Amino acid sequence: GAVVSQHPSWVICKSGTSVKIECRSLDFQATTMFWYRQFPKQSLMLMATSNEGSKATYEQGVEKDKFLINHASLTLSTLTVTSAHPEDSSFYICSAKAAGTTHSNQPQHFGDGTRLSIL
Amino acid sequence: GEDVEQSLFLSVREGDSSVINCTYTDSSSTYLYWYKQEPGAGLQLLTYIFSNMDMKQDQRLTVLLNKKDKHLSLRIADTQTGDSAIYFCAESQDDKIIFGKGTRLHILP
């Protein structure tokens, strides 16, 4: 149980294109989803926290107009990288927290990540 | 300084034990975690320990927690080639998980 599906797993596109990444909780409802960015050989950096039906909370230094997050349902959150440029190339990982979870042994379930390459 | 610190690399011979160390800063963390990331993949929760525990063992994995020193370690017994990955130490802070930079475990034949 507790599977998070992230799509696409790899995307290559031209500079200036907008790219949408989907994060779905397949067998549970997720009131909260998280978006992380990981640079090569680096840790995961939390970009934003996405709550169903409300605006996302962005971490300091993350441009909200650049990284648009929508969490329209309890099973889907999307991250859109607008007008992507080569410096946006990275590995993006989402995670989802099950509804009703407070502190637990696994508060977040992770997707397999999306590798974004901007040419 | 960083919230969670860990060494970046560890090389271990196959069959030996691997010990990955981590220090954290938030004494109010309820849970501390070890995640495994294989190349090009997402994160897999390996094990966790509740903050009022000193030790947890799960098959080949042993987690030791020294809350006074805010030190966490992961021991992998009988290390296999399939254990080659990046291991992230993490602490819970409210709804968030704060990750260390990860320790790349390399297995020597």
Distance CA B33, CA B14 (A): 24
Q: What is the pLDDT of residues B80-102, one digit of tens each?
A: 999 999 999 999 887 788 899 99
Strands B18-24 and B4-6: antiparallel
Mutate to test the interface with A, among B29, B34, B63, B99 (most CBs of A within 10 A): B99
The CA-atom distances, in angstroms, between A44 and each of A18, B17, B28, B43, B59 are 22, 26, 21, 10, 27
Distance CA A78, CA A23 (A): 6
Q: What is the pLDDT of residues A73-117, one digit of tens each?
A: 899 999 999 999 999 999 999 999 887 665 555 668 899 999 999
Considering only CB atoms, which residues of chain B are within 8 Å of chain A? Answer: 30-31, 40-45, 48, 50, 88, 92, 95-97, 99-102, 104
List, in sequence order, every residue forming a beta bridge with B5; answer none if it has no partner.
B23
The CA distance from A93 to the nearest CA of chain B, in Å, is: 7
Helices (H) and strands (E) in chain B, counts: 0, 11
Contact between B31 and A103 using a beta-carbon 8 Å cutoff: yes
